[in-house]
């Protein structure tokens, strides 16, 4: 079992839809959870950062962490064509290197 | 967030030659820098961690004599791919952060825009 599992998609949604992206993980020691957005041929850009369990909201983006289920989610409300990108989850214990998911490719169709 | 740049953004080289990629932190002191490799439709794979003034720590399976890392200052790290082969063609991304002893090195990384290497 890989440490971090993420469905690679692709995921295609109409403009304005709510998007749900998810990752599962196996290492219960992970404490810090991140979501990165990566446009084609660009480096990752940090979107959301969560410590331990709970929810965090920033504009149209909401990150959820459920440590009991080892499951994290990113929700995008009112999705826009400019949200079309690959979304990577990543996590760390704080003392070990980031472990990334494979990324989910999202297309928002106008 | 902090700004990290990479140069070049894209390079093509012949098999057997060496290529140097620079990673710079533009507005902060990067005690720790990380080098990743990303193949198409794959995730980022950590290659090595470097601390300013120290030798880099390489991940298992990464040849340190092939991928030379130098982190001589708090704003610059370089990755040199020596005797490049077509299978080294990939997207190389660096990230920078505070020192490992800060306890924040892994969860406060800022990524560069990446360098696409194509070896013919």
pLDDT tens digits along B38-90: 998 888 999 999 988 888 999 999 999 999 999 888 889 999 999 999 999 99
Q: Nearest Cβ partner of B103 from A34, A46, A94?
A: A94
Nearest to B108 by CA among B42, B43, B31, B44: B31
Interface A–B counts its CB contacts (< 8 A) at 55
Statement: residue A99 has pLDDT above 90: yes
H or E segment and range at residue B65: none
From residue B4, give the alpha-carbon distance in Å to each of A90, B12, B90: 19, 22, 19
Mean pLDDT on B90-119? 86
| Per-residue b or e along B65-74, where b marks 16 or more CB atoms closer than 10 Å to that residue's CB | eebbbebeeb
Give A25-45 pLDDT, tens digit per residue: 999 999 999 999 999 889 999
B61 close to A (CB below 8 A):
no
The chain B residue lying nearest A36, using CA atoms, is: B111
Mean pLDDT on B86-115? 85
Residue B39 CA to residue B35 CA, distance in Å, equals 14
pLDDT band at B24 (very low <50, low <70, confident <90, very high): very high
Nearest to A61 by CA among A103, A8, A19: A19
Q: CB count, 10 Å around CB of A26?
A: 12
The three-state secondary structure class of A25 is strand
B42 and B94 Cβ atoms separated by less than 8 Å: no
Q: Nearest Cβ partner of B46 from A32, A34, A97?
A: A97
Name the DSSP class of B59: P
Whether residues B111 and A49 touch (CB distance < 8 A) is answered with no
Statement: residue B114 has pLDDT above 90: yes
Residue B110 CA to residue B112 CA, distance in Å, equals 7
pLDDT band at A1 (very low <50, low <70, confident <90, very high): low
Nearest to B56 by CA among B33, B82, B74, B28: B33
Residue B95 CA to residue A38 CA, distance in Å, equals 14
């Amino acid at each position: 079992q890989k440490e971090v599992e993420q469905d690679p998609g692709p995921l295609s949604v109409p403009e304005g839809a709510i998007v749900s992206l998810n990752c599962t993980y196996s290492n219960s020691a992970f404490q810090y959870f991140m979501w990165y957005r990566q446009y084609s041929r660009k480096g990752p850009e940090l979107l959301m950062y969560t410590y331990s369990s709970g929810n965090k909201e920033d504009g149209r983006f909401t990150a959820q962490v459920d440590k009991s289920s080892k499951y994290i989610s990113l929700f995008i409300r009112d999705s826009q064509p400019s949200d079309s990108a690959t979304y990577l989850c990543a996590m760390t214990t704080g003392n070990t290197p980031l472990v990334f998911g494979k990324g989910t490719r999202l297309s928002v169709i106008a | 967030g902090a700004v990290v740049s990479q140069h070049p953004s894209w390079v093509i080289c012949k098999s057997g030659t060496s290529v140097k990629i620079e990673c710079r932190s533009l507005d902060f002191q990067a005690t720790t820098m990380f080098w990743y490799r990303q193949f198409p439709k794959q995730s980022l794979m950590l290659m090595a961690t470097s601390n300013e003034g120290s030798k880099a720590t390489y991940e298992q399976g990464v040849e340190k004599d092939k991928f030379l890392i130098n982190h001589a200052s708090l704003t610059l790290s370089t990755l040199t791919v020596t005797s490049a082969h077509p299978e080294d063609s990939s997207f190389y991304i660096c990230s920078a952060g505070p020192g490992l002893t800060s306890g924040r090195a892994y969860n406060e990384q800022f990524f560069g825009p990446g360098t696409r290497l194509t070896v013919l």
